[in-house]
Amino acid sequence: MTDFDRYTAEYSPELTRFCMKLCGNVHDAEDLFQDTWARAFERIDQYDAIYSFKKWLFAICANTFKNGKKNKYHSSKVLFSSQEEKEAFLRSIPAKEQDIDAYLDLHIAIHALSKKHRVVLILYYFREFSQSEIAGMLGIPEGTVKSRLNTAKKLLKRRLTDEEHQR
């Protein structure tokens, strides 16, 4: 088994979850997943084994998503016939969390965020990368990461508070 085969076996499940959280639908997540592994394979000679392969791979994925041509990974927006259908879809997203229902409103609110806010939020809170690691992965200043996280948290709070008031 080559190193790349080992990496693929080890990181594919986590990368799948990351792609699903970024894209919000299966079709775009599958495309992003394949594009990420293709880019990683093309650039494997650039990978330095003294660094974390996971960080390198997730940086490729995040940048592929962020730089997708004309929102390529949002091209097949899913239209749901009902709120129940949408909730059923969100529950189908692979997750480590045992009780996905408790996080359903949060997942819906996260998918309503812009790309730039969603990427940093997911990398920070769901993949547990530091702000400096995210800055390095995305090629942006650490202050920009902090600002985007702050804005994303405010937008999420506002949306979740508004939804709570509507119930």
| pLDDT number for residue 75 | 46
pLDDT tens-digit map of 41-100: 999 888 888 888 999 999 999 999 988 754 555 544 445 566 676 666 565 555 554 455
Asked if 137 contacts 59 with a C-beta cutoff of 8 angstroms, the reply is yes
Q: What is the mean pLDDT of residues 126-155?
A: 91
| pLDDT number for residue 72 | 57
Residue 98 to residue 58: CA distance in whole angstroms: 23
List all residues 6 or more positions away from 11 whose beta carbon is below 8 Å from its beta carbon.
53, 54, 57
pLDDT tens-digit map of 132-143: 999 998 889 999
Q: What is the pTM of this model?
A: 0.64
CATH code for the domain of 63: 1.10.10.10
pLDDT tens-digit map of 8-49: 889 999 999 899 888 877 888 889 999 999 999 999 888 888
| pLDDT number for residue 107 | 76
- Going 49 to 40 to 62 to 69, the CA torsion angle's sign is positive
Neighbours of 134 (CB within 10 A): 27
Find the domain containing 140 and state its range: 3-166
**Number of domains observed in the structure of the chain:** 1
Q: Rg of the chain over CA atoms, in angstroms?
A: 16
| pLDDT number for residue 146 | 95
